[in-house]
């Protein structure tokens, strides 16, 4: 086999990794390839104009695409057909970001895998495929423990006058206190989930304050009680995490696991390096 091209795609960006037969890796980045938001024409234009990888000059035998927008077989086929046509390859696979997280953290071993980034998700992975997965309800009614979930708590604590004076001043200095402007962005902007998640940065900057620690811990308790602890496998196998929120607050995750008697697995900011390791083993 000459090479494998891996893609880890969100709505805003896609990280591409080309693994050659000598196992050397080249990295590329483009805008996101989310089938929820992209037409076939959009995808072909993006690959042509943004991906600095000429199919005529590189031998690619297989493409493995992981994406946040790949929720069912129809969306997977949409991406696969585009990749096959653009790169002129016979083998192209499209999978969910949940499988990317599972392979990146668990490799070929069993474990419970969680995503804690802008949104949240979880599954039990048997080392080959996802066996059980709780539904992800999105940021309006779900996404416990995620950036959007934490962002909502920050706004509630500020505008409900729950924060003490120090935190209120810190919030006002960073974001202002124009409620109408914030509500407009939350309820009118198309990327409200990312906007809400941006307030997680306030928690990162204010670590050590008891109110901040309580917000983070409560959010992670909610995530564990509604998702992680629902998997009976959680008591037998490691619990892995992918995502910036999990990575930034990994100390709280480890502390919770000590209380629950759970084994903490890998906690990674991004799945890219784990996916490279996983697919290198196939060469």
202-214 tens-digit pLDDT: 999 999 999 999 9
Inter-residue long-range contacts of 159-163, CB under 8 Å, 24+ positions, other chains counted:
162/211, 163/211
Q: Do domains 3-101+272-280 and 140-216 have the same CATH topology?
A: no
pLDDT of residue 149: 95
Looking up tokens 């917000």 gives 215
d(CA 147, CA 87): 36
User: Which numeric CATH code is attached to 140-216?
Assistant: 1.10.720.160
Indicate the domain borders of the chain: 3-101+272-280, 140-216
Q: Global pTM?
A: 0.87
Overall CATH class of domain 3-101+272-280: alpha beta
pLDDT of residue 58: 80
Residues lower than pLDDT 70 in the chain: 1, 11
pLDDT of residue 1: 53
pLDDT of residue 12: 72
What one-character-per-residue DSSP string does the chain give?
--EEEEEEE-SSEEEEEEEETT--EEEEEEE---TTT--HHHHHHHHHHH----TTTS---EEEEEETT--SHHHHHHHHHHHHHHHT-SEEEEEEHHHHHHHHHHTTS-EEEEEESSSEEEEEE-SSSEEE-PPP-HHHH--TTSHHHHHHHHHHHHHTT-S-HHHHHHHHHHH---HHHHHHHHHHSTTHHHHHHTTHHHHHHTTT-HHHHHHHHHHHHHHHHHTGGG-GGGGTS-EEEESHHHHHTHHHHHHHHHHHT--EEEEES-SHHHHHHHHHTT-
Looking up tokens 């196939």 gives 282
């Amino acid at each position: 086999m000459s090479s494998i091209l891996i893609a880890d795609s969100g709505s805003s960006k896609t990280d591409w990794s080309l693994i050659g037969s000598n196992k050397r890796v080249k990295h590329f980045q483009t805008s996101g390839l989310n089938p929820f938001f992209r037409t076939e024409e959009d995808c072909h234009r993006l690959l042509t104009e943004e991906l600095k990888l000429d199919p005529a000059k590189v031998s690619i035998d297989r493409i493995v695409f992981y994406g946040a927008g790949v929720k069912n077989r129809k969306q997977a086929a949409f991406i696969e057909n585009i990749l096959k046509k653009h790169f002129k390859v016979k083998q192209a696979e499209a999978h969910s970001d949940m499988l990317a997280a599972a392979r990146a953290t668990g490799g070929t071993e069993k474990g419970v895998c969680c995503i804690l980034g802008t949104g949240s998700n979880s599954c039990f992975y048997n080392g080959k495929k996802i066996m059980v997965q709780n539904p992800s309800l999105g940021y309006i009614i779900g996404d416990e423990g995620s950036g959007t979930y934490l962002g909502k708590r920050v706004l509630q604590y500020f505008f409900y006058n729950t924060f003490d004076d120090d935190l209120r001043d810190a919030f006002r200095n960073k974001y202002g206190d124009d409620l109408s402007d914030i509500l407009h962005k939350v309820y009118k902007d198309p990327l409200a989930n990312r906007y809400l998640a941006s307030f997680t940065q306030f928690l990162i900057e204010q670590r050590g304050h008891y109110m901040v620690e309580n917000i983070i811990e409560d959010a992670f308790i909610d995530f564990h009680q509604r998702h992680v602890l629902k998997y009976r496998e959680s008591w037998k196998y490691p619990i892995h995490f992918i995502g910036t929120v999990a990575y930034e607050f990994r100390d709280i995750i480890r502390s919770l696991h000590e209380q629950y008697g759970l084994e903490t697995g890998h906690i990674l900011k991004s799945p890219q390096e784990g996916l490279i390791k996983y697919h290198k083993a196939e060469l």
